[in-house]
Copies of this chain bind each other. A is one copy, B any other.
């Protein structure tokens, strides 16, 4: 059984090699640039952990993990274009450093490269792996489309927002674990449980992310607090506040959304507190976390095998913030 840190180092050893041919350099060099911007590589390591939960690590798990990380980077490259994002982790995005056409094509070929790794897996489970990977890829596209649609809508329901987060974020976390479980020879029932663990962990993580953007300690959070509020971003907090505020609070909230007063962040935070959105969000996060742990508990393997996943979950989603 390996820790997240160890698996992460192992994965980096293979992944940090060049992932693309040398030519045409105008196509592949931007992709190598983008990959070296880095990231926590959570998803591929979840795949390796999903394998190790059930059996010794298979060499094929690294191919699947690589496919997952390349897929994830493909979505980032295209999302950055759609979001007009100039920077990612402080580095220029591809469409900013090069141009939109290059970024579109770089994303495309990154996705194809993901399939090259996945297709190289020699296993009786190949069809099953492909099926889950395809379904997940399509769901992530659906989630991104819903996210873009929501930007243009005045009202988004809690249910629709939840569905969007599930598709855009959670299914890939869930699928990463399950793809590893499949190659690890897990039973259908265990596969379902690890998938649900990932799905709920992803939701808990997103609630926490929304919460920290508003109420987090800027020192610990590492990014500007209140960014979502300034951008009028639909989040768990804003949607819940709009659904539960009384008439007077709702008017005040809408006034803040329709303007950019200098004290907007402080005002909205006060309204959130008045509506007890902060307590509600912490509770919601814990609900998802509890559900996740329940599914993990249901998995029929020695409990020692679950330790790395438990530790990772607790590292990703904290109970106390």
> Interface of A with B (CB < 8 Å)?
24, 26-27, 74, 78, 81-82, 100-102, 104-105, 107-109, 111-113, 115-116, 119, 122, 126-127, 130-131, 134-135, 137-138, 141-142, 144-146, 148-149
Chain B residues whose C-beta falls within 8 Å of the C-beta of A112 in the assembled complex: 111, 134, 137-138, 141
Give 29 CB contacts A-B under 8 Å: A24-B142, A24-B145, A24-B149, A26-B145, A26-B148, A27-B142, A27-B145, A74-B108, A78-B104, A78-B105, A81-B101, A81-B104, A82-B100, A82-B104, A82-B105, A100-B100, A105-B145, A108-B111, A108-B141, A109-B138, A109-B141, A111-B112, A112-B134, A113-B138, A115-B134, A116-B138, A119-B127, A119-B130, A119-B134
Q: In the assembly, what is the distance between CA of A111 and CA of B148, in Å? A: 20
Instruction: Collect the chain B residues with CB atoms within 8 Å of residue A78's CB.
Output: 104-105, 108
Name the distance in Å between A118's Cβ and chain B's nearest Cβ: 8
Closest to A144 in B: B105
Give chain B residues whose Cβ lies under 8 Å from the Cβ of A119. 127, 130-131, 134
Q: Which residues of B contact A116 (CB under 8 A)?
A: 134-135, 138
Minimum CB distance partner of A117 in chain B: B134
Specify which chain B residues have a CB less than 8 angstroms from the CB of A107 in the assembled complex.
104, 108
CB distance from A71 to the nearest CB of B (A): 10
Query: By the criterion CB–CB under 8 Å, are B101 and A148 in contact?
Result: yes
Shortest 4 CB-CB contacts between residues of A and residues of B: A119-B130, A27-B145, A82-B101, A109-B141
Determine how many copies of this chain the complex contains. Answer: 2
Inter-chain contacts of A101 with B (CB < 8 A) = 81-82, 148
Using Cβ atoms and an 8 Å threshold, which residues of chain B touch A105? 78, 82, 141, 144-145, 148
Return chain B residues, CB-CB under 8 Å to A74: 108
Residues of B within 8 A of A111 (CB): 108, 111-112
* Chain B CB within 10 Å, residue with most, of A100, A115, A141: A141
Beyond A108-B141, A109-B142, A112-B137, 10 additional pairs, beta carbon < 8 A: A24-B145, A26-B145, A74-B108, A81-B101, A81-B104, A82-B100, A82-B101, A82-B105, A100-B100, A119-B130
Interface centre among A111, A113, A138, A148 (most CB of B within 10 A): A138
Partner of A115, one of B113, B127, B130, B145: B130
Contacts of A81 on B, CB cut-off 8 Å? 100-101, 104
- Chain B residues within an 8 Å CB radius of A100: 81-82, 100
Known contacts A81-B104, A104-B81, A122-B127; A149/B109 CB under 8 A:
no
C-alpha spacing A221/B294, complex, angstroms = 67
